[in-house]
Structure 1
Amino acid sequence: MSKKEKNIEISENLKKVQGKEVIELTLKNKVLGTIAQENGKFIAQLPSEEEFRVNSKNEAMGILIREFHLHSSN
């Protein structure tokens, strides 16, 4: 039996944090984390403040989504 595909809607919100523009990813009212650009790299920051430095925005988004699903109770 195959699993039914489940679509989720993740929002990107542009915010200023400590004078820097960051992208905040949210799912409904839950914050998945933020993405900032620094020196040509992207920094994905989880709500726990753990950071991952990657080469692209898509990689950063993937990390935040993956970590959210890994730790969600669904």
Structure 2
Amino acid sequence: MSKKDKNIEVAIEETTKNGNQVQQVLIGKNVVGEIENQENKYTAILTDGEEFNVHSFDEGIEVVLQQYHLHQG
């Protein structure tokens, strides 16, 4: 017997942090990470403060979601 797929809502909200534009990645109402863009350099920041340098905004989202899935529960 297979498990039924579970739909999870992922949202991206733009906000300002320390004078910089930051996109927050949310699952439900919980912030799971942020993507920061400075001079065409992207940084994925997790809620525990861990940072990953990435090449694009899309790669930043992938990293945040992978790390969340890896370390949840």
Matched positions, count: 73
What do you get for the CA RMSD once the two structures are aligned?
Answer: 1.3
Aligned equivalent of 2:19? 19
The Cα of 1:62 is off from its aligned counterpart by 0.4
Alignment partners' CA distance in 2, 1:23 and 1:52: 15
Structure 2-normalised TM-score? 0.88
Deviations 1:25-69 (A, max 9, x none): 111121111001122221000011111011111110001001111
SS of 2:33's partner is strand
Alignment partners' CA distance in 1, 2:38 and 2:10: 23
Aligned equivalent of 2:38? 38
One-letter code of the match for 1:36?
Answer: E
One-letter code of the match for 1:43?
Answer: T
Unaligned runs of 5+ in 2: none
**Equivalent pair of 2:8/2:28 in contact (CA under 8 Å):** no
Identity %: 34
SS of 2:48's partner is coil
Alignment partners' CA distance in 1, 2:35 and 2:6: 25
The Cα of 1:6 is off from its aligned counterpart by 3.0
Worse-superposed segment, 57-66 or 35-44 = 35-44
Alignment partners' CA distance in 2, 1:55 and 1:2: 37
Aligned equivalent of 1:69? 69
